[in-house]
Amino acid sequence: MSEKNYCPLHYTMGLIGTKWKPLILFHLLDGGLRSGLLQKKISGISNKMFTQTVRELEKDGLISRKVFAVVPSKVEYKLSERGRSLENILRSLDTWGVEDNPK
């Protein structure tokens, strides 16, 4: 199982290289958001995928999850230190998408 030519890029993509993860992280760059609001910002994501994705991000220590003991229930997500360290990359990816002009 030893991966020849293993490269750190592969490791990074294993953490954030999915359809939804970068978007969620990106929308948290400007500060923490409660669950429902964050989900609404991620257009097109299903409830299932949203929950599943934030769980993985939390497990990998890229975001933190804070539960408030109130009714109705309230949950807030925000970037962890580790997640914050991706800020430059996330903004670069976004900027590239702005500047890129196909055709």
Partner DNA sequence: CCGTATCCCTAATGATACTG
Partner DNA sequence: CAGTATCATTAGGGATACGG
In terms of Cα–Cα distance, which of 76, 97, 80, 77 is closest to 15?
80
Only segment of 6-14, 17-25, 79-87, 89-97 that touches DNA (CB under 7 A): 17-25
Select from a copy of itself, DNA, none the partner in contact with residue 78, using the beta carbon and a kind-dependent cut-off of 5 to 8 Å. none
Q: If binding is defined by CB under 7 A, does position 47 make contact with DNA? A: yes
Select from DNA, a copy of itself, none the partner in contact with residue 35, using the beta carbon and a kind-dependent cut-off of 5 to 8 Å. DNA
Judged by CB under 7 A, the residue of 10, 55, 82, 91 near DNA is 55
In 27-89, the DSSP E strands lie at: 33-34, 63-68, 74-79
Q: If binding is defined by CB under 7 A, does position 31 make contact with DNA? A: no
Contact 16, 86 (CB under 8 A): yes
The rounded distance, in Å, linking the Cα atoms of 65 and 102 is 39
Q: If binding is defined by CB under 8 A, does position 11 make contact with a copy of itself? A: yes
Q: Report the nearest approach of a copy of itself to the CB of residue 89 (Å).
A: 5
Q: For residue 3, what are the contacts with CB-CB under 8 A and spacing of at least 6?
A: 10
